[in-house]
Structure 1
Amino acid sequence: MTTALLPYSSLPAERIGVHPPTELPANIRLGTVYLTVANLTRSLDFYQRVLGFALLRQTPATEGQAAVAELGVAGSPAVLVRLQEQPGANPIPRRGRLGIYHLAVLLPTRADLGCFIKHVHSLGVNLGSSDHNYSEATYLTDPDGFTIEVYRDRPRSEWQVSEQGEIQSALDPLDEAGVLQAAGTNHWQGLPAGTTIGHLHFYTGDLRAAAAFYHKALGFDIETWSLSGALFVGAGGYHHHLGLNVWAAGSPAATTADARLLRWELWVPDAVTRDAAATRLQAAGYAVEPTPKGPIATDPWGIRVLLRAEPQPQA
C-alpha cells in the first residue's frame, strides 16, 4: 500500500515526528566535532584545500600534548572541526568501526553547493552525491576514512511528510546540472559565511538501544523511522540532527588505536535545559562526567556528547 504524502507545512509541529517524554527545544545546534587523525599536515591539506575550511588556530605537539588544529569559516570564531593528531592511528575501514559514519557540512544555498561541486571537480577528487528529498548532498572521504557530507537544505515548504508525520527521505540521483546552473559564473572561495555542522551520522550496534539513548533520554524526536536499518532524529522538526544506523553492526567500537570521533558538542539554550538532559541520561543509567565546559555523556558504543549551554546576556 502506497503511503499518502503531504506537504511538510500541512501538519502542525506536534504531529511531525515521534516525540519523547521530554524533548529538546527547537533552538539547539551542533557545535565542534572533535576528531583524531593520523597526520595533521595531511588532514589540514584536505580540510583546507578540498573542503574549504579556514584554519583558525594551530598548536604544535609538545611533551604530553598532541598537535591540534581548529577549523571553521573565515571571519567567524566558531570552531566547527577540531583535529587532534595521533601518529600511527589506524584508518577507518569501510563500515568497520562503530562510531562516526559522517559529519555533514551545511552550506547556506544551492549556489554555494554548485560552486563547491565545480571546485572539487577541478581538483579531480572523487565525489559521491544524492538527492534526499529535503536536501541535496555530496560525499567525500578524508585521508583517515571519515566520510564528509557537504549539502544544502531545501526550504521546509518543499519537504514532504506522511500522514503519520514521518519526514520523507530519498536516495535519488542528484540533479548536478541544476545545482551547477545555480552557481552561475561564481567560483568557490572556501566555506561561505553561515556554514554550520548540519548533522552527524553514527554507526551504532542496535537501533532500540540507540533510540533509548538519543530519543528517550537525551530528548531528540524521531523524524524518520522507515529507512532500512536506520533512524533519523532531530529537534524542532528538522529532518535530522543525527543519523543512527546499524549498517556496521557486529563491528567493534572505535578504540584508542583508531582514527575516531573523540566527542561532539550539542548546544542547548540555557544551563537549565543542559542540566535536565544530563539528569535524564544519568537516571537512565548512562555515564555522565562533569567537565568545566559541561557534562559529557557516553552512549553504549563509546560516542561522547558534550552538553553545552549558550551564554546568557548580561543583565
Structure 2
Amino acid sequence: MPMSSNTYTLPQGIRISRVSLRVNNLDEVTRFYRTIVGLDVLEESDTRSVLGSGDTPLLILEADVDAPTRHRSGTGLYHTAFRVPSRAALGDALIRIRDQWQLGGASDHWVSEALYLTDPEGNGIEIYRDKPRDDWPRSDDGRVRIGTESLDLGSLESAATGRSRAPPGTDIGHIHLEVSSLDSFTDFYVDTLGFEVQTTVPAASFVSAGGYHHHIGANTWHHRTDPVNGRGLSWFEVVVPDQDVLVTVQSRLRDHEIPVTDIDGGLIVRDPDEIEVRIRVDSST
C-alpha cells in the first residue's frame, strides 16, 4: 500500500455533495433513480435531470446520446454511495430493489450497512446507513477500521416502513473510484488535497476528513489503466466548510503545479486519471 507524507489535513465539515453522470438514455436513468433509489426529480429537461432529497440536489444526469460505453480499461466510477439516515430507510430501499430491480450485494462493513446495485447503464450504486460513530472500530493509531461481513437481510427487511421515497436527510456519503494507481491517488487526494487514509485493503484505499470512515474510496481491482472516458462519471463535488480552507487547498494545488480553473465559489481540478473534481465552499452555513 502507498505511504503518505502528508503534513496538512482537511478539517471537519468536508463532504461529497453532488455527483454528475454522463448517460445515453436520460429518461430511463432518471426514472430508475426516482423509483429505485427514491430520489426526487428537482429539474428535468431534454438534456439534463437533477435529482436529490427534498430541495437538495445530489445527482446530475447529463444526456449524451453519442457517448460511447466506457472502455474496459477506463478509470472512473466504481459506485456513488447514497447515505440514508436510518435503518428503516435502508430497509425501505431493500424492498424497492427486491420488488423492482436486482440486488447486487449486501454487506455489514462494521461502520455501516450497505446494499449494492447498478443502474441501467452500468453505474455502480451503494445505498447505506451509518452505524453510530461511537461504535466504529478503530485501530491503535485511531484510524477507522472497515470490514466486510454478510448482512442480515431478513432483519433489515423487518425494519422497513414501506416508504417509496428516500427520506429527508439522504445525501451522498462517499464516492468510490476505479483508478490506475493507488500511489498517484494518494499523491493527489492525501498529500495534496489533505484527506487522511483510514483503511487499506488489498488494492484499495479509503480516505476521509474529520475522522469519517471514508469520503473517497479507490481501487485497482480491475486493473484499469486509461483516463476516464465515455459514459459514466462526469464529475463529483467536494464541499469545504469555509473560504480559508478553499484558499489553502488552492494554494497547495498550485504548489504541486496542478492546473486549477477558478469558478464562482470554488475551483475545478482534474485528478491523475483526469477525473474532474469540483471543490467549493459550503453555501448552507
Q: Bin the TM-score by the shorter chain.
A: over 0.9
> Is 1:85 aligned to 2:63, yes or no?
yes
Contact 2:36/2:101, CA 8 A, preserved across alignment = no
Alignment partner of 1:162 out of 139, 147, 172: 139
Gap change, CA 1:134 and 1:262, over 3 Å in 2: same
Matching residue of 1:224: 199
Alignment partner of 2:107 out of 122, 130, 136: 130
Gap change, CA 1:312 and 1:238, over 3 Å in 2: closer
1:47 shift after superposition: 0.8
DSSP 3-state at the match of 1:162:
coil
1:210 corresponds to which letter in structure 2? Answer: F
**TM-score by structure 2 length?**
0.93
Contact 2:180/2:226, CA 8 A, preserved across alignment = no
Deviations 1:217-253 (A, max 9, x none): 101111112x011110001110000001112334322
1:166 shift after superposition: 3.2
Measured in 2, the distance between the counterparts of 1:145 and 1:312 equals 32
Identity, % of aligned positions: 34
DSSP 3-state at the match of 2:266:
coil
Matching residue of 2:236: 264
What runs of 5+ residues in structure 1 fail to find an aligned partner?
Answer: 1-17, 61-66
1:126 shift after superposition: 3.3
Poorly superposed stretches of 4+, deviation over 3 Å: none
Alignment partner of 1:193 out of 143, 168, 177: 168
Gap change, CA 1:285 and 1:80, over 3 Å in 2: same
1:129 corresponds to which letter in structure 2? Answer: A
1:288 shift after superposition: 1.1
Alignment partner of 1:276 out of 228, 248, 256: 248
1:291 corresponds to which letter in structure 2? Answer: I
> Is 1:24 aligned to 2:10, yes or no?
yes
Structure number, greater radius of gyration: 1
Measured in 2, the distance between the counterparts of 1:124 and 1:250 equals 28
Matching residue of 1:285: 257
Q: How many residues align?
A: 282
1:77 corresponds to which letter in structure 2? Answer: D
Matching residue of 1:247: 221
1:165 corresponds to which letter in structure 2? Answer: G
**TM-score by structure 1 length?**
0.85
1:277 shift after superposition: 0.5
What runs of 5+ residues in structure 2 fail to find an aligned partner?
Answer: none
Matching residue of 1:105: 82
Contact 1:204/1:248, CA 8 A, preserved across alignment = no
DSSP 3-state at the match of 1:112:
helix
Contact 1:267/1:308, CA 8 A, preserved across alignment = yes
Alignment partner of 1:295 out of 263, 267, 270: 267
1:199 shift after superposition: 0.1
1:124 shift after superposition: 4.4
DSSP 3-state at the match of 1:188:
coil
Alignment partner of 2:189 out of 214, 220, 225: 214
Alignment partner of 2:212 out of 238, 259, 274: 238
1:83 shift after superposition: 0.3
DSSP 3-state at the match of 1:150:
strand
1:112 shift after superposition: 0.8
Measured in 2, the distance between the counterparts of 1:239 and 1:146 equals 23
Matching residue of 1:38: 24
Gap change, CA 1:114 and 1:209, over 3 Å in 2: same
1:132 corresponds to which letter in structure 2? Answer: H
1:69 corresponds to which letter in structure 2? Answer: S
Q: How large is the Cα RMSD of the aligned pairs?
A: 1.7
1:299 shift after superposition: 0.6
Gap change, CA 1:19 and 1:158, over 3 Å in 2: farther
Contact 1:19/1:221, CA 8 A, preserved across alignment = no
Measured in 2, the distance between the counterparts of 1:285 and 1:260 equals 28
